[in-house]
A and B are shown apart, each in its own frame.
Chain A
Amino acid sequence: MNALQIKKGSTKHSAYNLRPTFSDVEEAHTLAVLVDNEAGVLARVIGLFSGRGYNIDSLTVAEVDHTGHLSRITIVTRGTPQVIEQIKAQLGRIVPVHRVHDLTVEGPAVERELALLKVAGAGDKRVEALRLADIFRASVVDSTLDSFVFEITGAPEKIDAFADLMRPLGLIEMARTGVAALSRGSDAYRQGG
């Protein structure tokens, strides 16, 4: 409190949520950024993160609306609430960016990632890998006499857990897509609005 009896960071919401919670604890946030699918747009977004020293834990991008030339970039980033707000504001002022949604604060969301894991081995280890894959509902998409390639989909933590289990069983290579995320329920982020 101060002389004018206005609580610091009081929260009457304007169009922009510009009153951060004043915490210095770093949080992970998943951002959905709708952009015009034009040359250089991904470079603008990535350049913003590298130029201003923000973190990218994961980033995925693909066109989601062919006729409207819209792509959706899903970024998992990390920072204090003030930094997260700054990241969103900086993203928002990139000209081809239509909207920036913070899925972490805008209600419940589902996050999924796909990974391919190559596990090489023989004997018991090979059998155990296949058994665990079944438990994790990973499917075998390639098989030789001494290797499997598993495909697994799920939250990043689930993929981490599966990879940890596969490591002693002969995990030799892995590719992950990064997180794709959508809010739960019938509300949708569409073009324009």
Chain B
Amino acid sequence: MARQMTGARMVVQALKDQGVDTVFGYPGGAVLPIYDEIFQQNDIQHILVRHEQGAVHAAEGYARSTGKPGVVLVTSGPGATNAVTGLADALLDSIPIVVLTGQVPTFLIGTDGFQEADTVGITRPCTKHNWLVKETDRLPGILHEAFHVATAGRPGPVLVDIPKDVQFATGTYTAPVKGGSKRYQPQVKGDMTEINELVEALESAKKPIFYTGGGVINSGGAASQLLRELVEATGAPITSTLMGLGAYPGTGKNWLGMLGMHGLYEANMAMHDCDLLIAVGARFDDRITGRTDAFSPHSVKAHIDIDPSSINKVIRVDIPIVGDVAHVLEDMLKVWKSRGRKMNREALTKWWAQIDKWRAVDCLQFRNSDKIIKPQHALQRLEALTKDRDRYITTEVGQHQMWAAQYLTFDEPKRWMTSGGLGTMGYGFPASIGVQMAHRDALVINVAGEASWMMNMQELGTAMQFRLPVKQFILNNERLGMVRQWQQLLHGERYSSSWSESLPDFVKLAEAFGAKGIQCSDPADLDDAIMEMVNHDGPVVFDCLVEKHENCFPMIPSGEPHNKMLLGDAAATDAIQGAGAALV
């Protein structure tokens, strides 16, 4: 139904028609008409963040924990440029985000007007697509197309730049059309010839492995269910990237744990030695492959991905399947069942016996202490005390992030929000706010390091204002732990700028915002302190003082293949040498 209304009202109407209930944003001159419309309605709640980067990460947390697109509204110029890190983060992790930016009026564009920036130019390489709307009549169509592009195919961030005169002018509103924009319709069904070939390979494989990633989670709940069914039925082992944790349960019997640079020994060894590698919604990131010319050298490789450009980008594969994970897995299961559910069971038993030997190495063991809290121990206790709750975990970036991936268990998808591709310090706190907005009664914990957390700690104000009881579990080692670890491994223990000088008193900091602060330094007090955090009805900043020089193991040093893992400190100092030293 076509109706006349202002561009600003169109924005709110389009958000409603797209089913949006929450917008994260920050007002400014170029978006005032839209904020005026938001003020005059009650269907959409606006969450006022304290920095535009926080708005985008919050929207990412909202999106990843719900499967719905996250929506951000910010002003022109600095509002838009502050959102750039979040856009780049969402692009690398394939998170559906719709960012609406104000822009100076069309007649000022190009004059270096106040708070003018070339927003579509700046964000072009860090969005899936973006638009500058120059006519109010085109606004509703573009907004609907923006939601379609953000969510269809491989999800990603989009941005719509709306000049202020376009917001004020009146035009004709049009409702969304079913099926979305005709010009963007990615292929979702996989090619049956390739699927048949993959099933044949699976039936005869002696050492198969599933290597799954965030694509399984993005594909939706059905994809995780189908993956579980396929893994259970075939009896093949499964590992996952950081992004894919939870698609297959962390307590499942075929689960090898995360793979990659800080992945589990058994997962990486199995990747190296397998004879059939089935990549599902994963993209062979350099954190996963290690040295590419020695990556899984004896395997036939199949790759299921909705993005054709992911296939053969890094690792050349033998069976490429372009399609949506859920569609392809469904077809794969059907074909495998119709061909008689065959597997090389005898070989598979041997394969598991080998895997069990690797498991016996117990690569996550660490030397615990009763005097000082080890970060691994802190996470083990957090896991033990919260695993039975309706729990969501976000993280910042660094050692704590890897330990969280190693020591926490995820049995369901969309429970684990972490900046995987871009590695954005400062992601976790605002993300936890977005998650809590979507799941008001859930226990939302941000596992953080003190350095990362301080990058967006202003969002404590947001958490307080909107009564979001997010728990900030800070593993405080007074160091940029991962940087320090690499300096030990690569730069002769010259710890250049990797300590956190002049840290605040986190308890007082929390109290200054009206939140609760808890500090814990004695392993004996840890359980009680964690329970105090969990049971407090409000935001908590938990300052967990941990061992300052703990290193994150196991680890594949850069430039090495999967079977050259470091298991502990003895081999660590100056472990990265040669060509690997140039890698990050």
Query: A residues near B, CB below 8 A?
Result: 2-4, 6, 8-10, 12, 14-16, 18-20, 22, 36, 39-40, 43-44, 47, 51, 82, 85-86, 89-90, 92-96, 98
Contacts and interface: CB of A to CB of B under 8 A. Distances in A.
A20 B197 CA distance: 18
A43 B118 CA distance: 13
Given A15-B187, A36-B183, A85 B300 contact: no
A95 B183 contact: yes
Contacts of A82: 312, 316
Interface SS of chain A: helix, strand, loop or mixed?
loop
B231 interface: no
Contact of B312 (A8, A85, A93): A85
Nearest to B297: A2
Interface stretch (B170-178, B201-209, B379-387): B201-209
B149 interface: yes
B129 A8 contact: no
Contacts of A96: 129, 183
Given A14-B321, A40-B120, A95 B149 contact: yes
Given A14-B191, A14-B321, A40-B124, A4 B309 contact: no
B307 interface: yes
Nearest to A19: B320
Contacts of B319: 6
A92 B308 CA distance: 9
A96 B312 CA distance: 23
Given A9-B318, A36-B183, A18 B275 contact: no
Contacts of A85: 312
Given A4-B201, A12-B193, A15-B187, A90 B309 contact: yes
Contacts of A9: 316, 318
Interface string B310-324: 011100111111100
B527 interface: no
Contact of A86 (B201, B313, B317): B313
Contacts of A43: 121, 124
A4 B276 contact: yes
25 contacts: A2-B299, A2-B300, A4-B205, A6-B319, A8-B318, A12-B197, A14-B193, A14-B322, A16-B308, A18-B308, A18-B311, A18-B312, A19-B318, A20-B312, A47-B125, A51-B125, A86-B309, A86-B312, A89-B308, A89-B311, A93-B153, A93-B154, A93-B307, A94-B129, A95-B183
B286 interface: no
B184 interface: yes
Contacts of B197: 6, 12
